Amino acid sequence: MKEYERKQLLERIGRDGATVGASIPETIDLQGEVFELSSFVFETKRQEEIPPDQLERVEAVKKRLRAERQERRHRLEHDDIDREAGERLANTIVGIDRALNALESLGTTDLSGEAQAAETADQKRWITFLKKALGHDADDSGPGAQVR
Q: What is the predicted pLDDT for the residue at 71?
A: 94
The total of structural domains in the chain comes to 2
Considering the domain architecture, whether residues 148 and 78 belong to the same structural domain is answered as no
Considering the domain architecture, whether residues 139 and 96 belong to the same structural domain is answered as no
Q: What is the predicted pLDDT for the residue at 15?
A: 85
Can you tell me the distance from the alpha carbon of 97 to that of 85, in angstroms, rounded to the nearest whole number? 18
State which amino acid sits at residue 31: Q
Considering the domain architecture, whether residues 116 and 140 belong to the same structural domain is answered as yes
Considering the domain architecture, whether residues 67 and 98 belong to the same structural domain is answered as yes
Give yes or no for a contact between 35 and 29, defined as CB atoms under 8 angstroms apart.
yes
Question: At how many degrees (to 10) do helices 52-78 and 3-14 cross?
Answer: 160
Q: What is the predicted pLDDT for the residue at 81?
A: 93
Can you tell me the distance from the alpha carbon of 18 to that of 93, in angstroms, rounded to the nearest whole number? 10
Q: What is the predicted pLDDT for the residue at 141?
A: 47
Q: What is the predicted pLDDT for the residue at 78?
A: 92
Q: What is the predicted pLDDT for the residue at 8?
A: 92
The widest CA-to-CA distance across the chain, in whole angstroms, is 62
Divide the 148 residues of the chain into consecutive groups of 10 and give the mean pLDDT of each group.
91 85 90 90 84 86 94 93 93 93 71 70 86 73 50
Range of the domain at 148: 111-148
Give yes or no for a contact between 98 and 24, defined as CB atoms under 8 angstroms apart.
yes
Q: What is the predicted pLDDT for the residue at 110?
A: 47
Considering the domain architecture, whether residues 42 and 70 belong to the same structural domain is answered as yes
Considering the domain architecture, whether residues 36 and 69 belong to the same structural domain is answered as yes
Q: What is the predicted pLDDT for the residue at 114?
A: 60
